[in-house]
Structure 1
């Protein structure tokens, strides 16, 4: 194999696929980057068997071939090369020469035939969505994916297509995050659960103003096509929690509040709450004002926020981090907080529409 490629193009490709490269695997080939130059162009692939990323790069191919190179070492070598075109040559014994300007490095490659094939995913069940929309949906739900492996299905996020709406749901037992978007074209009704790690890596590859993303799924895998890059992720087995059954259908108290003001007040109150045992912040709702308090052996904090209030007065408490996790990803300036009792979840909704819903469980006040 002989090829010539711009350094920045090669670095872009390496940075893209490395997100799926295995770390400390029992199979050394999974810690490598698969490189193939053929009639399709130059492709780089990494996989840890649950997530695979393949990208195609523009280059001048003089002679076709393929090899697997030790991923971290190859990446560091390329990043430290002088600026300019990179020449990569591989002989029949998998000896690799990487040359750029006056710099030349030789290394030994691995047998490409031992590299696992990526799963094939048909487009029988597929839909298209704008990159910035999908990126926002991931950003505004991924924080609620469970990290505890006790219930493996909750370590992923549900992607549900129903009545031309795409809904993404994540929950970890303390909070629930739901984001909804309308699809531009009808699509088959479907439910899949994507591992949180894979979804997070997909989100990092998305642009704020990029082309549309094509998403295809089948029983075991999902494939996301982003320009010249394909991400293939193994889906989680099992049935996701029937989230609609835990969404409150009514409320006894509704508070309309500026999201930023609420975030700043909880953030300040949490400085003292963290010094305590449970990071607890109390909400006291009455007379169109929301009073937040926290205390510990070190002292106490009092915050007062003006609100528009409907319904009954209420005193309730929350873990400060669970509430700020919701508020920090908010784009809306004003939000509604719906309460039923002081032991029922608070539901955070938009003032208009149903684009999102967040549930935060309270902490019992003794």
Structure 2
């Protein structure tokens, strides 16, 4: 195998496929990047069996071949080479020679026979989404993925195509995040994708209108970008019926400036560090909201102007859960809907119907 490639191009490819290499595998071969050359294409693959990423890089192929090389050392070498053309060729005794300007590295490589083949996915049945829309949807839901391993299904995001809508849903027992977008398709399906996969997908997606094609099988999902394919196994099991968790009515509706609310909660949470509850109290009155927190560290009181419809309520929250929502909302104003001090709070954007969040309150000891 012999090829030449611009440093920046191969470095970009390495950083994409490295996202699939966790370093936790018991198989040494999965610590490596699979490199394949044929005709005019250089292909790189990284995999941890659950997640595989393949990307193609523009290169001049002099001699075809394939190898697996340790991802960490290969990435470090390429990163530190001068910004020039790199030549890579295989020598005898499983040695690969990397030459760039006056730098020459001889590195041991691995045989490709043990590297797992990528799952075969029929790409006939597919949906297509704009990269920037999907990236935004993942960002707006992934913070609500469960970290607790006792319920594996909640460590994923529900990816639901239903009634010409794409819905992404995440919940962890304390909060629920829903994002949806119109999708011109007659396909109806639902799968649960590991949160780790979608976080890596969102890092690869760009803030552009370019399309990403998405294909499913019973066990895997494929995200196909122009030069990159991301294949992930799906989580087994049935996701919780999230619609049943959303309150159908409310007794109080509050219009509030998102940034003011976020700033006030961030300040109030400075005094809520006692224990892990991050407890803050919200007292909704006719024209204002009073936020308080007290602990062994001291106490704080914040006041914000609001527009309230209904009767006032006193309610308490873990400030982290509210802040996670507010940091992922794009609108300047949010609407909070509540029924009582012990029932869930629904948060929506005033001018965007495509996002909905639910946060459970903390019960206060009377």
TM-score by length of 2: 0.98
Q: Aligned residue for 1:217?
A: 216
Deviates further, 166-175 or 82-91: 82-91
Deviates further, 52-61 or 284-293: 284-293
| CA distance in 2: counterparts of 1:21 and 1:15, whole angstroms | 10
| CA distance in 2: counterparts of 1:211 and 1:177, whole angstroms | 25
Aligned pairs (5 A) from 1:315-330? 315-330=314-329
Contact 1:67–1:94 (CA under 8 A) maintained in structure 2 = no
Q: Aligned residue for 2:86?
A: 86
| CA distance in 2: counterparts of 1:40 and 1:221, whole angstroms | 29
Q: Aligned residue for 1:339?
A: 338
How far did 1:210 drift?
4.9
Q: Aligned residue for 1:259?
A: 258
Q: Alignment partner of 1:343: what SS?
A: coil
How far did 1:353 drift?
4.8
| CA distance in 1: counterparts of 2:265 and 2:22, whole angstroms | 39
Q: Aligned residue for 2:52?
A: 52
Q: Aligned residue for 1:131?
A: 131
Q: Aligned residue for 1:283?
A: 282
Contact 2:329–2:349 (CA under 8 A) maintained in structure 1 = no
Contact 2:280–2:291 (CA under 8 A) maintained in structure 1 = yes
Q: Aligned residue for 1:239?
A: 238
| CA distance in 2: counterparts of 1:36 and 1:59, whole angstroms | 11
Q: Alignment partner of 2:347: what SS?
A: strand
| CA distance in 2: counterparts of 1:122 and 1:97, whole angstroms | 37
| CA distance in 2: counterparts of 1:331 and 1:318, whole angstroms | 22
Q: Aligned residue for 1:163?
A: 163
Matched, 1:198 2:217: no
**Residue-by-residue CA offset, 1:242-277 (whole Å, 9 max, x unaligned):** 000111111000000011111000000000011356
Q: Which consecutive residues of structure 1, in runs of 5 or more, have no partner in the other structure?
A: none
Q: CA RMSD in A?
A: 1.1
| CA distance in 1: counterparts of 2:166 and 2:140, whole angstroms | 14
Q: Alignment partner of 1:330: what SS?
A: coil
Count of aligned positions: 365
| CA distance in 2: counterparts of 1:220 and 1:362, whole angstroms | 36
How far did 1:94 drift?
2.6
TM-score by length of 1: 0.98
How far did 1:25 drift?
2.0
Aligned pairs (5 A) from 1:5-20? 5-20=5-20
| CA distance in 1: counterparts of 2:61 and 2:148, whole angstroms | 47
Q: Which segments of structure 1 move beyond 6 Å, counting only runs of 4 or more?
A: none
| CA distance in 1: counterparts of 2:329 and 2:345, whole angstroms | 16
